[in-house]
Amino acid sequence: MTNKRFGGTLGSGSSSVVTQNNSSYVLIAETMPTAGTKNAFSGMTNPVMIDGTNTIEFADIVQNYRDLRIVFDNMGHNTSNGSGYRIMMTINGDTNSNRYYSRVENRDGTWNTDNTNYIYYGYMYRPENTTWTGSGEMYIPGYSKTRGGWNSRSWWGHWHHMNISAYTQTMAFDYYNSADADKAITKLTFKVESDVGYRQRSKISLYGIGAV
């Protein structure tokens, strides 16, 4: 169902009508195949996603919402083999060691990464080699607020592709062990491990949830 939101966070008392997928979610940025495009609602620059892109960065994330929803659609890599490569995520450009935990539910074998310099997320495959792509979501609560001095930020998500049978892998993540984890999130970066590139038509979208 398509709903319309009036006003919102366009600023300067705007009464423009904005169409969005759901009354709870507002699309604020998404990967696009051409450079220089902007989201009409948030004003954020959309990252470029073409075949072979290794790193996607959502920069200058607007701070008008409480929570973030990140949607991964039709995800694959472009290296000619049948291997899987994970998406590696950082917050605010922080790649320091011993700051990220990734936990994957043990249904199809467990892989956990502790005390690393990236969050590790779902395995992607080259669709021409495996005939499937991956999809998933992450939810980050309270992204636009500090954590009250606790120096820790937790969130969760899920991931699915055909190689993990008929169920979804649930995941949990932590960014901790530093005062940097207490800061509001203004940048998210998603890189493919082993310097592999994304396959064309992979798409990552960012949604704001709930006005501040």
Would you state the torsion angle of the CA atoms of residues 19, 44, 199, 100, taken in this order, to the nearest 10 degrees?
-110
Identify the CA nearest to 54 among candidates 73, 36, 70, 31.
31
pLDDT at position 4: 38
pLDDT at position 202: 97
CB 162 within 8 A of CB 188: no
pLDDT at position 1: 37
Lowest mean pLDDT among 49-63, 136-150, 160-174, 186-200: 160-174
pLDDT of residue 165 exceeding 60: no
CB 182 within 8 A of CB 103: no
Neighbours of 212 (CB within 10 A): 10
Q: How far apart are CA 83 and CA 168, in angstroms?
A: 20
- Distances 39 to 22, 75, 90, 142, 195 between C-alpha atoms, Å: 17, 21, 22, 22, 28
DSSP category for residue 23: T
Identify the CA nearest to 31 among candidates 160, 201, 209.
201
Q: Compute the average pLDDT of residues 29-35.
A: 98
To which residue do tokens 């959502």 refer? 58
